Amino acid sequence: MIFTLVLGVVGVGLGAPAQGVPGQVRTDAVREWNDLALNAVRLTRASDSDSARVYAMLNVALYDTVNGLAGARQRTHAVVPESGPAGADVQAAGVAAAHSVLSTLDPDRAGVYDSHLSADLAQLRPGRPRDLGVAWGQHVGQAVVAARADDGSRPVQIQPAGSGPGVFRADWSGVQFGQARPFAVADAGVFVPGPPPALDSLDYAAALADVSVVGNAALPDPAKLATFQFWSLPAGSVQPPGEWVKIALEVSDARTLPLDDSTRLLALLSMALFDTAIVTTRTKSTYRHWRPATAIQEADTDGNPLTQADPGWAPRAGAVGGTPEYVSGHSSFSAAGATVLAGFFCSDHISFTHATDTAPGNVARTYPSFTAAAAEAGRSRVFGGQHFEFSNQAGLTIGRGVAAEVLTTHLLHRSGPTHLGDCPL
């Protein structure tokens, strides 16, 4: 096998040779370097938006590198429009591109990435094809880094705490991502939903009653707690975007996708996840909605005769939540992930078994479809007492909308079917 991974945190199986791809190209590089990115997110305790940016930059670089060497089979590019040199080794190019991105984004672990690059290249035959591949991959990786240097993800901005009924009460950082430049969607603003239900409305009272029961720490329910924990994914995990990267890798492994298809799937997915982070952050900063814990404890201030204050109420999650409540980011990321995977494989009804970073006892769960997993991930936030159901539903709508635009407008055949409708594979 060409590529191996010796990461202690995540074990990696080697893929079988891809069929119908010149040079019997293998997809191990995609998994290896994505696993390295996932581990970097864990170690740096990156936020959901920061992690989505890392995954997108890595996978866009991998895609453009491989696609640039595809000759007549080329699809539309993500960031880098030119083609690579004839005769370049595509495997050398892929690992060089991935190394260029990760060593720039995570300089504290540059030595780890250097070691992986050296080990990968050492298993390829020396000579002009390998050298051409390395040079091309480095060019693409550096071009992707340069293209995203001014994307609005820095400097970090903080929205100060608010006050009064309906308003989130704490400072929170990362607000700048709401105005970051998308990878794929033309206008992130079109996906920002309308406001949450008015505090004095029946719909709001119904949602508050729902979360006050199913998310109540004082009402033990081991199944609901386990579901919340399974999808909780706080800092120190791969974050919600990372779980959908993991799912994509697992499903791809089961189908032994060729390298060009594997890189395209991960690029589509990670671009959609980052663009979803933009819409989610912009929505949160626009409406600044209070979390259920505050809403229930202070229900006597909301002007709604159908709600009743419970000053001692606590969420099943054990924490209020660190960002404004509307919308649920776990829901939006999960819907984006599920929609991309269903669109790419031309079927939502693909069963898979998966264990998240926070799965209790590391016990995996089996899902009959991508949508089923996304639905559980979204509802888990209500079980944890951290979101209202209307925020779950709004988040799911955001993710589906962003992913649909990405699928229908990016990384397409230069002629022929798109990703929705006729199967692109």
342-396, pLDDT tens digit by residue? 999 999 999 999 999 999 999 999 999 999 999 999 999 999 999 999 999 999 9
CATH classification of the domain holding 186: 1.10.606.20
| SS3 state at 352 | strand
**pTM score over 0.85:** yes
Residue type, 221: D
pLDDT computed for residue 22 by the predictor: 35
> Structural domain of residue 58, as residue ranges?
22-147
- How many domains does the structure of the chain reveal? 2
273 inside domain: yes
Query: What pLDDT, on a 0 to 100 scale, did the predictor assign at position 29?
Result: 87
One domain, residues 125 and 270: no
* Cβ contact 208:15 at 8 Å: no
Based on the domain organization, do 92 and 239 belong to the same domain?
Answer: no
Decide: helix, strand or coil at residue 193. coil
Shared-domain flag, residues 273 and 124? no
Cα–Cα distances in Å, from 143 out to 47, 155, 167, 263, 407?
A: 24, 21, 42, 17, 23
The reply to whether 170 and 199 lie within a common domain is yes
CB neighbour burial string for 127-141, b if at least 16 within 10 angstroms, e if fewer: eebbebbbbbbbbbb
pLDDT at 3 over 70: no
Q: Which residues contact 268 (CB under 8 A, 6 or more apart)?
A: 340, 344, 406, 407, 410, 411, 419
User: Do 169 and 309 reside in the same domain of the chain?
Assistant: yes
Query: How close are the terminal C-alpha atoms of the chain, in Å?
Result: 25
* Domain stops at, among 119, 147, 175: 147
**In the prediction, which pLDDT does 422 show?**
55
Q: How many angstroms separate the CA atoms of 164 and 280, rounded? A: 23
Residues 44 and 172 in one domain: no
Residue where one domain finishes, among candidates 114, 147, 180: 147
Q: Which pLDDT belongs to residue 416?
A: 63
Helix/strand/coil for 365 = strand
**Do the beta carbons of residue 329 and residue 395 sit within 8 Å?**
yes
Helix (H) or strand (E) holding 159: strand 158-159
pLDDT in tens, 228-268: 999 999 999 999 999 999 999 999 999 989 999 999 999 99
280 and 299 in a common domain? yes
Closest CA to 385 of 301, 322, 286, 314: 314
Per DSSP, the three-state class of 350 is coil
